[in-house]
Amino acid sequence: MGSERGISDSFDREYPQRPIVTAVGCIFRGDRVLLIKRAQEPSKGRWSVPGGAIELGEKIYDAVRREVCEECGIEIEVVRVINAADSIVPDESGRVWFHYVPVYVLARYVSGEAQPDSDALDVRWVAREELDALDMNPIARERINQAFDMARDLGFF
């Protein structure tokens, strides 16, 4: 991740001192979106869109392209920002365990074979009607549905 570009990961993801801004991709291949099954907390075992922390000096679109390539091994074309959200996960005592601010980005699949890396247990191209059957964060589900609407309106499918 950060070490490849000579930037150290100088922040703690668990019990952070400040929110961590992330770039996540709602990537479409026809009428299906790419989802990953998370291998790490806070969403371990749940389905989500690929993405990760934006590095210092990195632009949102560059971050989502890098993260998707690292996590899934595919190339994408970024189209536009969809929305942002708050993702605050407290521990049992109410203390903030994780605090992310994901920026959801709409993108098109370009090339490569989607394969999970160490951050993902599985990857899958999912149709909209399959979303409700998957275990995922409600905020992520809402943003993915928003991405389906936007992709349809832009003529992706």
DSSP code at position 137: -
Task: Pick 2-153's CATH classification: 3.40.50.720, 3.40.50.2000, 3.40.50.1360, 3.90.79.10.
Answer: 3.90.79.10
Q: What is the pLDDT of residue 42?
A: 80
The overall average pLDDT reported for the chain is 91
Percent of the chain exceeding pLDDT 70 equals: 93
The tokens of 23 are what? 């770039």
Tally of CB atoms within 10 A around 21: 14
Pairing label, strands 51-53, 87-90: unpaired
- In angstroms, the CA 151 to CA 101 distance is 22
What residue spans define the domains of the chain? 2-153
Instruction: Indicate yes or no: pTM above 0.75.
Output: yes
Q: Which residues contact 114 (CB under 8 A, 6 or more apart)?
A: 34, 72, 73, 74, 123, 125
